[in-house]
Amino acid sequence: MREKNTKQEFLLLRELLNESLLRDLIIFVIFYLFILAQSWKNIFLLLFPLITYTFSLFFRLINANKWRLSIFDNAITYNPLGLERKHANRLIFTTVLQLILLFWIGAESYYHPQLIQTYGVFFNIIFNFIYTFGFYWVLIDIWKYSKITIETKSNIEINSEILVNKLDLKNFKLIYLINLGTFVLLNILNIVIVTLTEINGFLGIMYILPGTGIESSLPLKISLSSLLIVVISPLVAILLFYLIYKNISSINPSELIEKLQLLPESKQNNIIETLKNINHKYYRDFSSE
């Protein structure tokens, strides 16, 4: 059986796609092309929605192909990263908001270039807030969904489940504090630097928009904090998701086998075989038992 699964590791492109994934891709590409059509000379700000969408695409791909993990038994709920569909929906929403803001500021630089300096403060605060909020949002309630469970039925047909693992309280508190602290600190830092930039101008970067120069208009001033935010937010999210995955995916094979003793032997074998198929680490752990 393992030999057969190994041959199926390489999937065709059409097997990776579904309606939700294609919808997100089409929306992102259309918006992005509209922005590129404005002839942006500096692409730094365009990296923000690209990074957010990449995260959304990652979770959408996992969700779209999660059914492959239940080849032997679909009673297992395997969510070491929480609900990938929910993550993808939240991130694509914040991506679209960022794209709308970029298209708006690009259009304003053509049609009302004299107002760009007035809009600068609000754009810097709102744009960075939306970007950081996307990564904060996906982790805000992840403790509710990050778990591995096995659904069972008793003789009287009452649904129940065996809890294999979930995010423990200690890790939840740590992740919550890091997530909230990063979001709040980055936005406070951004507001402070944007304010200082508006007052003194020495902490700002002159950013050329598509319409910069029309009617002698000046470039948009973006704060130095944007250089930190574009990197720190996704890096912290990756770190926290890694900690969550490591915590949730660690199971004790002996304890699990003991919990499964009340189930029929065929059901036990299907569950164990599915877990082996889900994670190569489980294959080694159960094989050593």
126: Cβ contacts below 8 Å, ≥ 6 apart: 101
DSSP 147: E
How many Å apart are CA 232 and CA 238, to the nearest integer?
Answer: 10
Q: What is the pLDDT, as a whole number, of residue 1?
A: 40
Q: HSE-up of 35 (CA within 13 Å, CB side)?
A: 26
12-71 tens-digit pLDDT: 555 567 788 899 999 999 999 999 999 998 999 999 999 999 999 999 998 887 766 655
245-263 tens-digit pLDDT: 988 888 877 888 887 887 7
Q: Say which residue, 145 or 69, is predicted with more confidence.
A: 145
202-231 tens-digit pLDDT: 778 889 999 888 888 888 989 889 999 999
Q: What is the pLDDT, as a whole number, of residue 5?
A: 44
How many Å apart are CA 53 and CA 90, to the nearest integer?
Answer: 10
pTM of the predicted structure, to 2 decimals = 0.87
Cβ atoms 87, 59 nearer than 8 A: yes
In the predicted structure, residue 287 carries a pLDDT above the cut 70: no
Residue spans of the domains in the chain: they are 16-151+162-250, 252-289
Cβ atoms 128, 230 nearer than 8 A: no
Mean predicted lDDT score pLDDT of the chain: 85
Of 236, 228, 249, 250, the closest CA to residue 55 belongs to: 236
